Amino acid sequence: MFRFIHSGDLHLGKRYGNMPEELRGRLKEARHTVLRRLADHARAQGASAILLAGDSFDTETPSPETRRQALAEMAHHAPLDWVLLPGNHDSLQASQLWSALADGRPANVRLVTEAAVCELAPGVALLPAPCTTRRPGRDLTQWMDGAATPEGTLRLGLAHAAIHDFAEEGGASGIIAPDRAARAGLDYLALGDWHGAMAIDARTHYSGTPEPDRFKHDRPGQALLVNLPGPGAPPQVTPLITGSFLWRTVPLHLLPQDDGPARLAELLPPGAERRQQLLRIAATGRASLAARTALAGAVEHAAPEFALLELDVAALATDCEAGDLDLIDRAGALREAAERLHAASLDAAASAAEREVARAALVRLFSYCQKIAS
């Protein structure tokens, strides 16, 4: 029997350049402290190793501080073994990175940089498929089919690439055969690249990232506890929550008569949970100018209590009545501008993008006038 933690896509050193400056540091630190959370799970579950299926680092040139602090944290959890596989973000093409890691690694960190069978533990053979470049353009796991191991050995594959065509960045050319585990006689194939946990079959799993970094997958960060009872026996796979931040997209469908701020209040989590949450409110349906402005104001009022709270109104249609334009101005230049924007937002001869620009400008004008009036 062999028990281990399957994780990957840590992306240590990720900069989060599109986030507010104060939040960047918190998110970056969360990616580092996930190493401790993984180790805590391993000890609690009796796992002897943590396998990181690629993209341990976000770039091929992480700072020396990022690299050395990661190795120091791993060393702190000896005798727990850490296994690092080159992914597409930290591929073998980054020769300086892997040379520096090899020079500075502690005894409980193993770098699997060759496509060759290696002994992970007595009776456990590891078959790694390190990424040679950012876009290898071929299935790097193919070699596993013919790799010989002693009879009665557990065969454990480790790779970083897409199965089917759902690579994180799209346009993948090195697609792993979805039946690779069966073809190669693997007891388990641990995969990285897809940031959401996914079971391809009973023996092939993506662990997902242990600390989410986007709204795309809309689920808590996790790793997988994998127990291999013996050669040929089905693996026992259990998800373990590891993320410290929760990224969620919350749908909010509005009808013209709805009270947007009240509906929003019903959807938001309790105050104690807000600091660790990044929420995107995806508004759909229809709302008046006043209702849309009130909703934006409610989001702005609640936002400081969250790590991030943002409003997406791309799919929210805006109804505009004469009374709404009166709230901008009853006459003069502002009223004339509002009427032109309103007409442009309804112009069937214009493109959808042009109508949306006019609609957004009208909403912005209405919002400014309401703030001045208040």
127-172 per-position pLDDT tens digit:
999 999 988 889 999 999 999 999 999 999 999 999 865 545 544 4
Instruction: Kindly calculate the radius of gyration of the chain based on its CA atoms and give it in whole angstroms.
Output: 26
Residues in Cβ contact with 226 at an 8 Å cutoff, skipping those fewer than 6 apart? 3, 4, 5, 6, 188, 190, 205, 235, 236, 237
Structure token pair of residue 105: 């690694």
What is the per-residue pLDDT for 170? 47
pLDDT at 113 over 80: yes
What is the overall mean pLDDT for the chain?
91
pLDDT at 355 over 50: yes
Better-scored residue on pLDDT, 336 or 174: 336
Residue 306 banded pLDDT, cuts 50, 70, 90: very high
Residues in Cβ contact with 63 at an 8 Å cutoff, skipping those fewer than 6 apart? 13
Residue 174 banded pLDDT, cuts 50, 70, 90: low
Q: What percent of the chain has pLDDT over 70?
A: 96
What is the per-residue pLDDT for 171? 46
Distances (CA, A) of 44 to 5, 33, 36, 58, 240: 11, 17, 12, 28, 11
Structure token pair of residue 366: 């209405």
Structure token pair of residue 157: 């594959």
pLDDT at 60 over 50: yes
Query: Please, are residues 218 and 3 in contact by the beta-carbon 8 Å criterion?
Result: no
Structure token pair of residue 25: 């540091």
Residue 253 CB-half CA count within 13 A? 0
Structure token pair of residue 255: 């009808």
